Amino acid sequence: MNWTDPLIVMTYRELKRFVRAKSRLIGSIINPLIWAIFFGLGWSSAFNFPQARMIFGGVNYMTYLTPGIVMMTVFTASFISGVTVIWDKQFGFLKEVLVAPTPREPAIIGRALGGSLTALLQGLIVLIVLIPLVSKIKLLGIMPVILIGLLVGLSFSAVGITLATKMTSMEGFHIISSFIMMPTIFLSGAFYPIRTMPEWMKALAYANPLTYGVDLTRYYLLGTSDLGIGIDFLVLIVLTTVSLTVASIIFRSATID
């Protein structure tokens, strides 16, 4: 059986759904913008002294925060998009794929791709809105950031899909959002540098894949990297491969029991 049709059509479905659900789009952009503007601008004026700028790599806090907020947007949107497979499971669309004589791997990879493209788009919209508020930005850096966003989006869509395929109840959805999403964001270096964290927190931050996406984005938009972009790319590529493989394997044997 061919792989392209299910892959393309599942991506198409996610994109169509995204275009239709305008309220969801607004909701998912407003939240990071509120963080960026109220949290970011608030702290930015409090940290308005030279030593503080050194902590944030020579830029003001608002500028430091912006790449983090972009990655937070991509992460949240793609992860939730993956987890919504649980609605598909409860409400039938999943069954539609499961009874079809199509290989399941491309169907689920297509869904992850769709989720990551829409997440990327949301991240870019947030970035564009925030550009007037930052003191410095490398506009050409947006090109590599698109690739980074895509990798981060694919990985976390796949992680979300894996969790949702294994979840049996919708209650799990809320547990996931508080136990996975918030810590992942806080431990990614999006809001504050990892260098100054307590050791135990630092360890968690290094174990957090989102950290590498944030570091890369900051490198391409602002020119500073804490971890080195070689290791960043390596981690992201490995993460994307592994998470998509795991999601495919889990979904291949999915039943509706």
Partner 1 sequence: MVEYTIVAENLVKKFGDIVAVNGVTFKVKKGEIFGFLGPNGAGKTTTIHILSTLIRPTSGRALVDNKDVVKEPAEVRKVIGIVFQDPSVDDQLTAYENLYIHGRIYGIRGKDLEVRINEALKFVDLYKFRNKQVKTFSGGMRRRLEIARALLHEPKVLFLDEPTLGLDPQTRAKIWDYIRMIRREKGVTIFLTTHYMDEAEELADRIAIIDHGKIIAEGTPDELRTLAGNEVVYINFDEVKEKPPCIEDNFVEECKVLTSDSIMLKVRNASEAMPLIFEELNSKGYKIKKIEYRRPTLNDVFLYLTGREIREEEGSDFERLKAIVRRRWR
Residues in the site for partner 1, rule: CB under 8 A? 1-2, 5-6, 8-10, 12-13, 16-17, 20-21, 87, 90-93, 95-102, 107, 170, 255-257
Using the minimum distance from each CB to partner 1, give the nearer residue, 10 or 154: 10
Using the minimum distance from each CB to partner 1, give the nearer residue, 31 or 90: 90
| All residues at 6 or more sequence positions from 136 whose CB lies less than 8 Å from its CB, including other chains | 59, 63, 222
- Locate 209 and state its tokens: 């894949």
Alpha helices (H) in the chain, listed in sequence order: 4-20, 22-34, 41-46, 50-55, 61-83, 85-91, 93-98, 104-130, 142-166, 171-176, 182-186, 199-207, 209-222, 229-252
**Least distance CB 225 / partner 1 (angstroms):** 40
**Least distance CB 93 / partner 1 (angstroms):** 6
Helices 104-130 and 142-166 pack at an angle, to 10 degrees, of 130
Q: What are the b/e assignments for 168-203, b being 16+ CB within 10 Å?
A: eeeeebeebeeebbeebbbbbbbbbebeebeeeeee
Number of Cβ within a 10 Å radius of residue 20: 10
**Least distance CB 186 / partner 1 (angstroms):** 27
The C-alpha atoms of residue 229 and residue 10 are separated, in whole angstroms, by 32
Residue type, 178: S
The C-alpha atoms of residue 200 and residue 27 are separated, in whole angstroms, by 34
The C-alpha atoms of residue 218 and residue 214 are separated, in whole angstroms, by 6
Using the minimum distance from each CB to partner 1, give the nearer residue, 96 or 199: 96
Using the minimum distance from each CB to partner 1, give the nearer residue, 195 or 252: 252
Residue type, 148: I
**Least distance CB 4 / partner 1 (angstroms):** 10
Using the minimum distance from each CB to partner 1, give the nearer residue, 100 or 128: 100
Using the minimum distance from each CB to partner 1, give the nearer residue, 196 or 255: 255
**Least distance CB 12 / partner 1 (angstroms):** 7
**Least distance CB 85 / partner 1 (angstroms):** 13
Using the minimum distance from each CB to partner 1, give the nearer residue, 5 or 226: 5
**Least distance CB 69 / partner 1 (angstroms):** 26
